[in-house]
Structures are given as structure tokens and as C-alpha cells.
Structure 1
Amino acid sequence: MLKSISCEAIVKTPITFGEGLNSVVGADDAQNSIGKSSVLMLIDFAFGGNDFPVKCDDVTRNVGDFKVGIEFEFDKKHSFIRDTSKPDSVYFVEDQEMKTLKYFTSFLKEKYLPDELDISFRECVSGFFRIYQRNNYDDKRPLDIVKKDNWDSIRKRILKIYGEYWKISNLESEKSEKTKRSSDIKGTFGSGAVRKITKTQYTKNNAYIDHMTSEIEAIKHSLRKNVTDIKSLINDRNISLKKEKDELLEKRNSLSVQLARIDSNLNGSKIRKSKSFQVVTEFFPDIDSERLERVEEFHKGITKILKNHLNAEKKLILESISAADSDIERLDKELLKIVDSKEESVYLLERLMELDRSNRELITQNEYWSRADKVKEEIRQIKEEINKAIESSISKIEQSLNSGMKVYIERIYHDKAILPTLSLDSTDYKFSHGDDRGTGKGFANMIALDLTFLEKTHLPCIIHDSLLFKNLDIPAVESLIEIYSGFKKQIFISIDEVSKYREEVRDLIQSSEFIKLDKEKLAFKVKWKSRQD
């Protein structure tokens, strides 16, 4: 726990702390601008925060930068020194070495939080250090560390504080591994080393692979046999190629006929000009010329649609003719190769190598398609598992927080006070105060939420500034002080007007007091809030 703070700039040094409640006590007249919040900010600084030099710059402007001695006690005492002018460094007294702020907060995490809690120390505590200068006391958004905090970040933080994130973390690691594998496969496709195919092409490839495998086996068998078998196999291949070419030629001729018919239709689809109707109006003056023009426009529209359709069909036919020509050229080359081959066995060997290369290429394409499809499905399943794990954990946390707040609100108000409700949804959260929406009750609900986290999780400490108590009625604050005093974990508060509370509560505050401030005893000794004439 935090044992003490030493600082020559403060009116009292050292300041020592104990277990449970620790109070900065202000004046009975609720005098402001005496430094209560700034002292709490200094405690935040001792816990590794870096807001003090920026958000309490009025202090450093008027008293100058200063060093802060910090002492924690865990298995033994550990001493450190921080300088407001060098907030990113911390001096480790026992090691006699200057180290980074990150190293310091990692030390605090090691001492305060269990190893399995996958959260940084500051991420854990920062949202529960509610101090005026930090502006993190919006009772409608109590889980936000900063204004408009992202829900994914908030949800992850809650899961971590409750020790539920490890389940999701393991799945996220698995998802990252699968995603990297998917990226590697896409990289192979992108490099051109393996052609990317569709599921339809995958099915076609399987058919081609079966066909080529059969032909490869037949060629190997023939090469092992006599010349007669080789000639027979070549002759079969020759016949097969000629048959395939004849089918392609017949298909091409059919396409050419279709093309000629389309060209004829396109040439015959002429649009009539308006002059064509002038002869009609000369012979029939009474005819409705406007109606003739509408008929003409209709014909123009029909002709345009027809032309578009015919041109689209023509384009497809031309593409099919081009593909047929390419296939015919390929077949001609292979037939010529058979004719030119002096040795049948040479042709078969060349054919065997060609088939083997094509077969391996298609097999590789299909293997990579299968890998890509498999990893895609695995990622989908992991995402589903992550969503289910989050939903289950968030539901338990929501129930835990709502039941905890119920206990604390009933202890604070001792009657049937309207209970707050925290709803943790898939896209955001809502902190509802019901029909009791007064500022005091809103802050009481937020305090109850913090106390539930303090009780039910590894959250090590909280800080509550006096502004949270301003609008609470006296009995509610008295109950709250009694609740604070029941904790062993450290709770740091600032409070004033102590004399208005009953004696037992005054005694609790007095026993927890670590510094008392008023207009004559300012936290940083110097008064700078009044205008200087």
C-alpha cells in the first residue's frame, strides 16, 4: 500500500497513510481553493499518474517544480522519487537508479495485481481516481476514463478488471495466428506464385485433375509396354484431338451465323426522322402531328433498347468466337506436334511432362484454395466463440455490479431508494438512475459502482474528491463514511464541513485524516487564487 508522500512544497511533510479510509479534511465553512483536490492529484502522481504537471500547472507556476518522495509497503518498504519537471522518469532509491515511468507502473502492477490479470496498473485504477481536475465524474458515463471513451476499450477494461479477459485473450491470440496464416495465403496469391481460383473453378480443376491423372497413368503404362501400344495410344490421342477440333469448328460456324444475323438486324434498325411525317401531314392536314411525334419517340425508344440488346449479344458472341479460335489454334499445334514427331515415344514423353506440369499446377491451386477456405471458416468459428465468451462474461459482470450497487445504495439511504441499473450491451453501456435523477443521487450511484468494483475485483484503491459529496444529504454522507471505513483497501477522499456530521462519523473522519487544510493552512503554502491589484 501507499505508505507516505514527502514533499517540501506541501504545508505538511511527510504525509502518512494507513489501510482503509484516508482523508484530506477541509474547513467547516467549505472554503474552496485551499488545495484539497491538488493533494489528491499528488496522490494520483504517486500512483504513477502523469496528470499533475499538466492539470495542476497553477501549482507549479506559483511554487515551482518540486520533487516528491514516495514510499510503498508490500513485502518490505520501497522508496521512489518523482520530479514534476521530469514526469516520465522515476528514481528507484533502493536501486539508486533512474528508470522510466512505465517501469515504475509495471512494478506497481507486479505488487498490486495478480499475474493472470492482463491489464496495466494505470488502466486498472485510472477510472476510479475521481478528482476535480481529471474531469472523470460524469454520473451518466461512469465507466469512461476519458470523454467519449470507446465502448470496445471500456468493455475490454471491465473484463480485465474482473479477471474474465483471459478466456477472450486466448481466443484472440488464436484468431491472430489464423489471420496471419490467411494473410500469408493471400500473399502467395498476390505474388502470382499460385493463381487464385473460385469454388466453381476448384470443382472444374478436380475434374481436370482426374482426367489428366488417368491419361498420365495410360502414357506411363504404354511407355513400359511395346511400340504397338505406344502407336495405339498416340492414334487414340490424335482421334480425340481431331474430334475436339471438329466440335470447335462446328461451334464457331454456328457463332458466325448468329453474328451475321445480328449485324443484319443492326443495319436494318434505322430510326425514322421527323421529315418522314411531313409528306403525311401535307396530304392529311387534319392529322394529329403531336401524336405522330409521340409515336416516333416510342419507335426511337424501342429501337434504342433493341440496339443495346443486340450489341451486348454481339459482344458475347465475339468473345466466344475468340475463345474458340484460341482453342482451335492450341489443338492445331498439338496435332502438328504429333505429325512432326519422328519417334512416338518422344511425343509421349513430351505429353507426359506437359500433363504432369499442368496436373501439379491445378493440384497446387486446389490445395491453396482449400487452405484459404479452411482458415476462413476457422476464423469465423473463433469470432463466434469470442462473441459467446464476451456475452457470457459481460452478463455475469453486469449481474455482479447491479447486485453490488443494490447493497451499497440500500446501506447509504436505509430506505427503498430507487436503484441504479447498469446495462452492458453489445454496442455500448447505459447507467440508468431511474426516476431519481438528482445530482446527489447520481453521484451516490456512481460511488456505489466504484465500491462494488473495489469489493469484487482486484482494484487496489479509489480516490473520491469532495465534489462527489456536495449534493448528498447529511445522513447519506454519514453512511458513506461508515462504508469507506469498513474497507481494508485504501480509499482516499477529500471532505469538508465535518462538524455537521454526528460524533461517531466525525471520529471516523478524524482518525483517517492525513492532512487538514483551511484558508490559513493552504496545501502548497502560497495563496494565488485572489486577484492581485
Structure 2
Amino acid sequence: MLDEIICEKFKEKRIKFHDGLNTILGTNTGDNSIGKSSFLLIVDFVFGGNTYAHANDIIKNIGEHEICFSFKFNNESFFFSREVINHHKVWQCNEKYEKQNSMNTEEFCDWLDKQYKIQLPYLTFRNIVSRYIRVYGKDNANEKLPLHSVSNEKMKDACYALLKLFDNYMPIHSLAQQANKSNEELKAYQKAQTFNFISNIGKRDFSKNEKELERLNDELEELAKDVERGFADLDAEISEEAIRIKKLLSRTRRLRSGVKSRLETIKENAEYKFSVTTSDFQNLLAYFPDANVRKIEDIEGFHNKISSVFKEELSLERRKLEKELGDYNNLVNEYEKQLEELIQNPKLSKTVLSRHSELLRQINHLQKENKAYVELSRLKTIKKEDEERLSSVRQKQFAVLANELNTKMKAINQFIYGENYNSPVIDFSENSYSFFTPDDTGTGIAYKGLVVFDLAVLELTKLPIVVHDSIVLKQISDIAIEKILELYDNSGKQVIIALDKQNSYTEKANKILNTKSVLHLAPNGDELFGRSWG
């Protein structure tokens, strides 16, 4: 929690804080320009805000000054200082507020986020607390726009900030990313169509293309069948000649294959050799001493004579077959050449190939157009489905949030007024919200609704602090203020308010205000800075 604020320029140098309600009191006559709102802006300043540093009247009349402050977490104190001119830097200090190390305001706010154990996804510490430090000059005390950090903030951003604070944004985040992705993909595709990189046709042209594609494919198929049937687009003379040559070519190839087979057999037989055994006869006698070697030699000689005659005949047959094979090869080459010249006839290229190419070109063109239409339709469908899913989940999450808030605000309102007064209601629509009290448009009731809303958020979320300036409270009835002060003090968190005319409230309210006072301001030297320039 915030423990103290110190400034050498203050009339009262050190202001100590405590849990629950802390009051900054003015006079019973409601004097202005004594520093109540300025001090609350300093509270915002020590929580990382910048509005105080941009207050020209402060800079002009007080000049450069330093705000020292401390926080206490788990009974341990942490000391800091921050200069008004060089306000982008926060100094870590020792207990005497001697500067040790510096950090930027974002790092400091991250540190506070961890110390307060908030650490909600997609939401910064400043985005949380700044909305609920409602001080004159911050432009966030509009009783009809309690979600807004400033009056011109987009409705959608204000709604999402509250949803994130309740930690109900996670289901929406991934769907929002997907919806954004599908939207960007569609936009990129449509842009490519705008520059004619991709075809762009409508549903009527798509249907027309489908019919034309069917006709063209039928024609292409028929053309192929005609070619298979024998060059249907050639004249009869060319067709008959082509068929005759193909028959001769097939017959000649068969005859050539027969010659090749016989030639291979001749080659195998020519390479056969009879066994030579004469050199081994002496070895044979070693095992068969009674063998008739002479007779064996006669048989060997006979075999050699036969072999010689056989080789001569094979050689003659081989030369004959090789000549016959050469003749067949020449004949096959001639027939193939004649058929090739016939097929390459200009009449065939013009009547068959040209038409075939044109059909393919037309089919390809129409297919590209229809493919582009189908892809565009697919991208549009995906975009629509993603947006519908996002819208459905978003509607459910905000419905849950509204129910939770309205239930709590009703309970708080009943504590303040009993059953006789309507409680404020928040209602969410598509990227917007409305906040009102049914059947009551009075100013006091409107500001009471704003306070009730903040108290509900304070109780239901990790919001660590609420700050209300007198502009928020002074319109509310005295009886309601008494109950509101009780709620502030029993919230279990720090609440800092500024109020004057304390004696005009009930005795109990006056007692709470004075008991919880941390700073009492008045004119004639008892202002925040000891003087007034208003």
C-alpha cells in the first residue's frame, strides 16, 4: 500500500497513509484553491501518472520540486522519489530518500504491478489504476462514462479494459487475432484483384464459366477420340497412307526380331569349344593303365575335324543373318521416317494441334477465373465465420460481466439506501455500453451511481486503490455519504478521498471523515504549499 508522501515544498512535509479510508479535508465553508485536488493528482503521480507534471500553474508557482514517497508490502518499506520536470524517471532511494538507482515510469509501474500481485494479461498497471483515480483535471469523472480513462476514449477500448480487469478477456483474445488475420487475408486478396494480379468475377460469370468449361471439356474429349480413331481431321488419302505404313512397320519389326534371335543363337554356338584332352592322356594312364590311348587319340582327331567344318558353316550363316538384319534395320528406319513426315503434315498441326492448344488455353483461363472466385468466396466465408464466433463469445463474456457487476451494485446500493432506490445498471452492446440508474436522472443519483460502480469494481477485482475527488462526492446526499464512507473504510483496500464541509454531513459521517483524515487543508497559510495563487 501507499505509506507516505513527502515534499519539501508542502506546508506539512510528510503525509502518512493507512489501510482503508484516507481523507483529505478542506474547510467547513468549502474554500477552493487550497490544494485538495492537487494533492490527489500527486497521489496519481506516485502511482505512475503524468497529469500532475503537466499542471502549468504548479510549475509556474512552485517551480521544480521533487515528490518522495514510499510503499509498504509485507511489512517491508520501499522508498522512491520522482522529479516533476524530469518526470519520466523514478529513483529508488534508501530510507533517507537518498537516490540509489533510477528506472523509467514503465518499469516502476511493472514493479507496482508485481507488488500488488495484479499481473493481468493484456493490461498495464496504469491502465488499471488511472481509470479509478478520479480527480479534477484528469477528465475521467464523467458520471455517465465510468469505464472511460478520458472522455474521448473509444467505447470499445473502455469496455475491453474492464473485461481485462475482470480477467474475462482471454477467450476473446485468440478469436480476435484470428478474426483480424482472416480480415487481413481477405483485404490482401481483394487488393491483388484490384491490381489485376488475380481474376475478379461475380457469381453470374462464375456460373457462365462453369457451363462453358463443360462444353470445352466435351469438345476436347471428342477431339482426343477422333485422333485415336485415326487422324479424323486429315483427309482420307493421308489417313489411308498412314495406316498402310504402320502395318508395314509392325510386320518388318517382327521379322527383324526373328533374325535377331537366330543371330544370337549362332553367336553362342560359334563360341562353343570341344574339350581338349590330349595333354591329359598321360595322367589318365596313371589311373587307368589298361586304357587304349591310341583309340582315344583317333576319336579326338575326328572331333577336331567336325569342329572345323561346323565353324565354317556357322560363319557363313552368321554373315547371312547380319546382312539380313541390316536390311531390316534400314527398312524400319525408312518406314519410321515416312510415318513421321506424314504425321508432321501441316494439315494435322492446323486442324488438330492448334485446336487442341486453343481449347486448353480457354479452359485454363476460365479455370483461373473460377478458382479466384472460389478462393474469394472461401476467404469471405472464413472472415464471416471468425467474426460471428468472436461476436458470440464477446457477447457471452460481456453478459457475464454485466450480470456480476449489476448484482454487486444492487447489493451496494441496498446497503446505502435500502430497498427504496433503484441501483445503477450497466448494459453492454456491440463495442459500446450504457450506464444509468432506471427512472432517476438526478445529478446526485448519477454521481452516487459512479461511486457504487467503483466500489463494486474495487471489491470484485484486483484493483488496489480508488481515489475520489470532491467533485464526485459533493453532489451526493448526506445520508448516502455516511454509508459510502463506511463502504470505503471496510473495503479492505486503500481509498483516498477529498471532501470539505464535513460538518454538514451526519454526525457519524463527520466522525469517520475526521478519524480517517491524513491531511487537513485551509486558506491563509494552511494550503498544500502554504499559499494560494488562485
How far apart in 2 are the matches of 1:217 and 1:80? 86
- TM-score when normalising by structure 2: 0.69
- 3-state SS of the aligned residue for 1:487? coil
Gaps of 5+ in 2: 239-343
- 3-state SS of the aligned residue for 1:462? strand
RMSD value over aligned CA atoms? 3.4
Match of 2:471 in 1: 467
How far apart in 1 are the matches of 2:498 and 2:120? 33
Match of 2:528 in 1: 523
How far apart in 2 are the matches of 1:229 and 1:97? 94
Q: Contact 2:73/2:115 (CA < 8 Å) preserved in 1?
A: yes
* 1:11-50 paired onto structure 2 within 5 Å: 11-50=11-50
Q: Contact 1:81/1:90 (CA < 8 Å) preserved in 2?
A: yes
Match of 2:285 in 1: none
Q: Contact 1:59/1:524 (CA < 8 Å) preserved in 2?
A: no
The structural deviation recorded for 1:117 is: 3.6
Query: Larger radius of gyration, structure 1 or 2?
Result: 2
How far apart in 1 are the matches of 2:192 and 2:116? 47
* 1:422-437 paired onto structure 2 within 5 Å: 422-426=426-430, 428-437=432-441
Q: Match for 1:151 among 128, 151, 155?
A: 155
Q: Contact 1:67/1:82 (CA < 8 Å) preserved in 2?
A: yes
Q: Match for 1:413 among 414, 417, 434?
A: 417
Match of 1:362 in 2: 366
Gaps of 5+ in 1: 236-339
The CA deviation string for residues 28-85 of structure 1, in whole angstroms up to 9 with x for no partner, is: 444332211111001111122221133x322221110222234344576555433221
The CA deviation string for residues 137-186 of structure 1, in whole angstroms up to 9 with x for no partner, is: 33334334333554333333333333333333222211111112112322
- 3-state SS of the aligned residue for 2:49? coil
Query: Compared with structure 1, are the counterparts of its residues 210 and 471 closer, same or farther at alpha carbon in structure 2 (3 Å cutoff)?
Result: closer
The structural deviation recorded for 1:434 is: 4.2
Q: Match for 1:482 among 483, 486, 506?
A: 486
Query: Compared with structure 1, are the counterparts of its residues 388 and 228 closer, same or farther at alpha carbon in structure 2 (3 Å cutoff)?
Result: closer
Q: Contact 1:159/1:165 (CA < 8 Å) preserved in 2?
A: yes
Match of 2:443 in 1: 439
Letter in 1 for 2:410: K
How far apart in 1 are the matches of 2:484 and 2:68? 31
- 3-state SS of the aligned residue for 2:519? strand
How far apart in 2 are the matches of 1:441 and 1:400? 21
How far apart in 1 are the matches of 2:183 and 2:100? 45
How far apart in 2 are the matches of 1:176 and 1:101? 31
The CA deviation string for residues 471-521 of structure 1, in whole angstroms up to 9 with x for no partner, is: 444433222221111112221112334466677656654554333323342
Q: Contact 2:182/2:386 (CA < 8 Å) preserved in 1?
A: no
Q: Contact 2:199/2:372 (CA < 8 Å) preserved in 1?
A: no
- 3-state SS of the aligned residue for 1:228? coil
Query: Compared with structure 1, are the counterparts of its residues 228 and 434 closer, same or farther at alpha carbon in structure 2 (3 Å cutoff)?
Result: closer
Match of 1:58 in 2: 57
Number of matched pairs? 422
Q: Contact 2:436/2:446 (CA < 8 Å) preserved in 1?
A: no
Query: Compared with structure 1, are the counterparts of its residues 179 and 423 closer, same or farther at alpha carbon in structure 2 (3 Å cutoff)?
Result: closer
Query: Compared with structure 1, are the counterparts of its residues 81 and 218 closer, same or farther at alpha carbon in structure 2 (3 Å cutoff)?
Result: farther
Letter in 2 for 1:43: V
Match of 2:2 in 1: 2
Letter in 2 for 1:60: I
Q: Contact 2:116/2:464 (CA < 8 Å) preserved in 1?
A: yes
- TM-score when normalising by structure 1: 0.69
How far apart in 1 are the matches of 2:162 and 2:432? 13
The structural deviation recorded for 1:106 is: 4.5
Q: Are 2:230 and 1:231 aligned?
A: no
Query: Compared with structure 1, are the counterparts of its residues 432 and 180 closer, same or farther at alpha carbon in structure 2 (3 Å cutoff)?
Result: closer
How far apart in 2 are the matches of 1:114 and 1:196? 51
Match of 2:82 in 1: 82
Q: Match for 2:196 among 192, 197, 216?
A: 192
Percent of aligned pairs with the same residue? Answer: 25
Q: Which moved more, 1:341-350 or 1:28-37?
A: 341-350
Letter in 1 for 2:526: K
